[in-house]
Structure 1
Amino acid sequence: MSTRYGVREVIGGRHRVVRLFGNGGFAEKRSYATRELAQGRAAQLGKIAARRDAVAEAKRRAKNHCECAGECGHLHLASRACPWGEGEDIGGGVGKVVLVAVALDGHDDNLSLDNIKMLCQLCKQQDEADRNNGGAALFDIREPQS
């Protein structure tokens, strides 16, 4: 069971998931018929919180910029490092850049900082296409125009 969430019995033999940190209040308004169901939900919430914390730490390490240095299959022209940062406007009606956490070993449960790399959505798609399609890239990544 999670170290962040626990289970408390409430009126009528039902159980609720509670936070074990902060004010110790209820984590969810709903209650569960059995302790096992509530413990399962507490474990789920613990995994979600651990992933959120690991991704936030990886984002701080990356300083809100894509950490791709050409591994996605695109050389990113002369710089060889992806120039995109989170929230930058790509232009041409494409939208803003979003960073995505990618597990290098392919296992999303491995939350060590060495296993998480922050990629922009363009490098992530290029990387996935390269891995899954045997080297066939989806598209050419446009470089930002200065």
Structure 2
Amino acid sequence: MLRNLKNPLSAIPSRGARFESCKEAKPMHDRRDTIPVVATYRGVGLHDLQSPDRLDLVRRAIDNVFDQRDIDRLFEIAGDAHWPPEARLLAAAKLEAVYQIAVDERTARPPIDLTLVQATVAGLDSVKWRHPQFFASLFDAGPPPGVKWPEREQPLR
């Protein structure tokens, strides 16, 4: 069938052509759903609706994540809702960077499951999936019995 075409590549739809007729096609990340940033600290956006004391705690957590080099500990931080969402997102970004550097330098890749890392921090930067009571995502499993997560001063509506 392709032999009858003058240009065989013309039979392959272009990247954008796949979605021309699909009305439900949406970008993977909707910027309107991103939590607004009130300030930036060490290149990390600080989320809105937090008290000045809470923002100081977030800054200290970001410093701790910046100092962390152990990939197992970074993975623990990314999945631990005791840590502020901004610090958890930074831990995930560091893990992705470590992996990407290994790929770029063509060295042995670290034992990091990027899909699991991304799933661990899913919703932490989303208005829609922001937990109304805790500084966490609705995707987080919730605190186990007897454990208390950091709560918001005023629950979100």
Structure whose residues are more often strand by fraction: 1
Structure whose residues are more often helix by fraction: 2
